[in-house]
Amino acid sequence: MRTASVLAVVSLVVLLAPHDAEGQASGVKTKRGTTAAPFLEIGVGPRAVAVGESFAAIANDASALYWNPAGIAHLLGAEAMFSHTLWFADVSLSYAAAAFNLGDFGCVGAYFYVMNSGEMRVTTEERPEGNGETFHVQDFTIGISYARKLTDRVNIGGTCKFIQSTLWRLTASTLAVDGGLQFDTPLEGVSLGLSISNFGGEMTYEGTNLSVRYDPDLRVIGNNDGVIADLHAKGWNLPLLFRFGLGYHLVVADDHSLTLTSDVLYPNNNSNFVNIGGEYGFMDKVFLRGGFKGLFMPDREGGLSLGIGIALNPIKVDYSYTDMGRLAGVERLSASIVF
């Protein structure tokens, strides 16, 4: 049965994997940079990132609120989590979440995810070293989730969230929803996950930085050429993402376990790609993880992730490192409490 399970996982990944060879050869352009709020695409939680962000089928902790909200239905009690990411150029990302099992009512959760650039100098053509002003970029999303077990094999979940982006004196915001499903298949140890993220409205910047002085008639001399007008910014879609994930969990021996994962991803702003990963556990206390993100993606930078986790009830601590190619590596650290 285990051999059949592994073959099923491999076969499904091969069938669903994106095949962009013709597109790459013909020079077809992708839709990179065509959506708003790109921080929504930066994965949260060292555990999920360390397995190559292939987490849709095995998400079962507080970080599941980001990856697949159906995953919090696995919680037996409650969990609170805080994760911090050191991004490039002194940019930081923080994620705080809590999820609770309410028995027959199901499971509820909430999270807050924020990106902050820190203070930066305002520069102009006349003053390239700065004009004395500073500004910052801050994006955040806050969400409320609900999940429940439909059967002993099927979990479903959904999230409603508010997203806001602030750039100096400009602000854009919108509402969006996530949805997910997890299914423990009849094949021993094989699970399936489906999720859709960031289905919502457009984001359009508004604010005083769009105010300009306008002359309504350049042909007339001496009229009021200082009328204040507001530019109308174009609206941009959110980074919509569909994930299909497979997981295979086996107990190698009494104190040893191994979980293999893979996700096929279909974004609206890039080529389709595949993530893969694995997690080795010893006595359910020490975990070693590794994965690779972005298989079949043209012009990929890096992709390898490694991580470690320690679970000493009721505390869990996780760490991951991701290779970003020519860019600097990215580190993530999280702490969770289960109660």
* pLDDT (tens digit per residue) in 163-184: 999 988 899 999 999 999 999 9
Residue found under tokens 């959506």 = 35
Q: Are 187 and 110 contained in the same domain? A: yes
Q: Are 213 and 304 contained in the same domain? A: no
Q: Are 242 and 222 contained in the same domain? A: no
pLDDT of 222 reads 66
Query: What pTM, to 2 d.p., does this model score?
Result: 0.87
How does pLDDT run across 135-174, given as a tens digit for each residue?
Answer: 889 999 999 999 999 999 999 999 999 999 998 889 999 9
Give, as one character, the DSSP assignment of residue 267: E
Q: Are 296 and 331 contained in the same domain? A: yes
For range 102-129, the mean pLDDT: 91
- Mean pLDDT (the chain) is 88
Question: What is the rounded distance in angstroms from the CA atom of residue 272 to the CA atom of residue 20?
Answer: 8
Q: Are 191 and 93 contained in the same domain? A: yes
- The closest of 47, 9, 35 to 332, measured between CA atoms, is 47
Q: How far is CA 26 from CA 266, 274, 297, in A?
A: 20, 21, 15
How sure is the predictor about 29, in pLDDT bands with cuts at 50, 70 and 90? low
Range(s) of the domain holding residue 223:
204-236
Q: Are 87 and 183 contained in the same domain? A: yes
The answer to whether residue 171 is domain-embedded is no
Q: Are 303 and 246 contained in the same domain? A: yes
Q: Are 217 and 317 contained in the same domain? A: no
For range 8-16, the mean pLDDT: 43
The answer to whether residue 304 is domain-embedded is yes
Question: What is the rounded distance in angstroms from the CA atom of residue 69 to the CA atom of residue 76?
Answer: 15
The answer to whether residue 37 is domain-embedded is no
The answer to whether residue 313 is domain-embedded is yes
Q: Are 87 and 224 contained in the same domain? A: no
Q: Are 148 and 224 contained in the same domain? A: no
Element (H, E) at 47: helix 46-50
What phi and psi values does residue 100 have, to the nearest 5 degrees? -135, 135
In the predicted structure, residue 74 carries a pLDDT above the cut 60: yes
The answer to whether residue 132 is domain-embedded is no
> 149: domain CATH number?
2.40.160.40
Q: Enter the tokens of residue 197.
A: 């993220």
The answer to whether residue 127 is domain-embedded is no
Q: Are 217 and 322 contained in the same domain? A: no
In the predicted structure, residue 270 carries a pLDDT above the cut 70: yes
The answer to whether residue 211 is domain-embedded is yes
Structure-model confidence comparison of residues 117 and 78, the more confident one: 78
Q: Are 84 and 210 contained in the same domain? A: no
How does pLDDT run across 190-239, given as a tens digit for each residue?
Answer: 999 999 999 999 999 998 888 887 777 777 776 666 788 888 888 999 99
The answer to whether residue 133 is domain-embedded is no
Count of domains in the chain?
2
